[in-house]
Structure formats: C-alpha cells, structure tokens
Amino acid sequence: MKSLRVATVQFQHSAGDKEANLEKIHHFTGQAAGDNVDLIVFPECCISGYWHLRHLCRAQLLELAEQVPGGPSCAQLLRLAADFRLTVGAGLVEVDADAGLYNTYVLATPDGAIHRHRKLHCFINAHMSSGSRFTVFDLPQGWRVGVLICYDCNLNENVRINALRGAQVLLAPHQTGGCASSNPNMMGLVDRALWDNRRADPDAIEAEFRGPKGRDWLTTWMPARAHDNGLFFVFSNGVGPDDDEVRTGNAMIIDPLGRIIIETCRAEDAMLVTDLDPALLDKNYGKMFIKSRRPRLYAELAKPTGKEVDIRKIRFED
C-alpha cells in the first residue's frame, strides 16, 4: 500500500454563513490539490458554524440544516472532490427525511461517493439528536478511515471500535480548546483581547494556545488514542472566536506510535500536510494490544451502571 498524503485544516468559520465557509473550504482544497493531497480534513460544523447553534430554536436550525447527501453543500463538496481529485471532509447541520437534526460530518470522494458520520454524543442543542452508528470506510487509495466528531473521541470505547473495524486513520474534526469551565483544572476561556491583538503580539496568543487551554490538554489524551489503537489520528479544529469562546486551533497529525508528526500553534487559519507511512500500521504497540484482547472479560463494558447521564447535562450543567 502506498503512503497517503493528508491535509488537516484549522480555520475560523463565520456563524451561519455557509457561502463564506464553503469559499474557505474551496480555497484550501485547491491549495491541497496543488500539493498532491489525497485527503483533506476540515473541522466540525465548519460549514454551518458551531457554538452559536446552542442559541437557535428548532425553526432556525431547520433553516440552516441541509439534507445529506441531497443538499447544496454536499453537492459542492462532491464537485470539489471531482475537480481536485481528492477526498474532502467537512461538517454541517443535517436534517433527515423525518426532520431529525444532527451534527454531521460529510466526506466526498473523487469517485462520487458520500460518507456520513452523525456525532454520537451531540450536546450543542436540545433539538439535535445523537447518531447511533460508527463510520468506517475505504478511501479510493485503499486506506481504511474512521470518523469521530469532537466529544466522540473522548470515550476510549469509540476509538477502539473504530480500530476493531479496521480503521487505519481516525479523522477527528473538532471545535474545542478555550472552553468555559467552572473547574480550574479544566481548560477555561482564552482572553479575547489576546486574539484581537494577535498581529501586534503573536507570542502572547500562541503561548495561550500551547498551554492547558489548548495543546497541553490535547496532548494528554490524543497521542494515547493513536498509540493504544495503532492508528493515525488526524485532528482538525476551529481557530479564533466562536461566539463567546476562542478556539485554539492546534491542528495536528499523530502517528500510530503516538508521535506528533506535524502540528501548529499559530493563531490563524492554517493547513498542514504530511504523508502517512503504511509501514507504521503493523509496527506499533496498539496492534499488539488489540491482538492480546480477551473479549470474554469485557461484557461488563456494555452493561449500564445506572450512573449514565445525558451528554447535555454533563456538558452544560456539571
């Protein structure tokens, strides 16, 4: 199997302005094609915008949402994939045939296929539902990829199931970093003034992005997800103001040994490109761990404990 050339993008979306966001996606996709990229990964809900969704009523969400694959954004992603001969992934709000609403990630391949992942742990708005299926599929290049959106990646079980289904690359589109918290040990808001002054003092905002609200937090767990499951981890994220929070970017790609191949802490839109080496897929600890599993011991993992709590309550009330 040949190496896979992958691009991961961090960019600041415009809330509700799908035309402007798709224009950025077009720009970066063209740039990636010029660098012979096979797969480009954009952030969670980067077409629709994200954090403002929590303020919208059902009627407003329905106005913003689109069908997948029948909507105009999917049509545009398919055109980009065909024109530039690569696979494009981006997130939006989906409405299904029964008027159900989802936080959905769409991947369009150059052969005309559409793949969809609905976020398994959706908390952004009470009118939006969580998905109930894992998403693992083969790219035209023969590589097998899985998709988990933001909070989905925080549960070890979700990543392991992707690995068990053969995922060699996990796509992890996010909108995170700089999240409000009443717990002093958990992230916290990035000072908006640092972002607004980023041109005059880039070191100050980049230091914040590298700290416990951004990179330091991400690198406590993301390399372990890659390492323990023997897969590449492609992290894409928003950057800059997102309603009343400031996303930290920190786009990065991690190899199956848990090593960061490429990353950025720049306070601006950015794209990173690297080649994934297939030789690393069999020469890692994660593959050894998975082969060592004793499934008969793990039935307890699937049993309710009675302590389960709705994700919206955990995210917004705890």
Report whether the peptide linkage leading into residue 69 is cis, meaning its omega lies within 30 degrees of zero: yes
The predicted pLDDT at position 317 comes to 65
For residue 304, what are its two tokens? 């309710």
User: Distance between CA 81 and CA 88 in Å, rounded?
Assistant: 6
Give the pLDDT confidence of 23-44 residue by residue, as tens digits. Answer: 999 999 999 999 999 999 999 9
CA 67 from centre of chain: 20
Query: Contact at 8 Å (CB) between 53 and 45?
Result: yes
Read off the pLDDT of residues 45-70 as tens digits, 9 standing for 90 and up. 999 999 999 999 999 999 999 999 99
d(CA 228, CA 25): 32
* pLDDT, tens only, 209-267: 999 999 999 999 999 999 999 999 999 999 999 999 999 999 999 999 999 999 999 99
Q: Which of 271, 192, 257 is nearest to 224 (CA)?
A: 257
Write the DSSP symbol of residue 11. Answer: E
Residue 316: the pLDDT is 78
Q: What's residue 206's pLDDT?
A: 98
Angle (CA) 188-193-196 rounded to 5° is: 120
pTM of the model: 0.97
Return the percentage of the chain with pLDDT > 90, whole number: 96
Task: State how far the alpha carbon of 289 is from the alpha carbons of 146, 163, 170, in Å.
Answer: 19, 11, 18
The total of structural domains in the chain comes to 1
CB neighbourhood size of 277 (10 A) = 14
CATH number at residue 302: 3.60.110.10
Q: What is the DSSP letter of 152?
A: G
Name the residue with tokens 């954004």: 73
Domain that holds residue 108: 4-317
Count Cβ atoms within 10 A of the Cβ of residue 54 and give its class: 0-12 exposed, 13-18 middle, 19 or more buried: middle
What pLDDT digit, counting tens, does each position of 99-153 carry?
999 999 999 999 999 999 999 999 999 999 999 999 999 999 999 999 999 999 9
Element (DSSP H or E) covering residue 255: none
DSSP 198: T
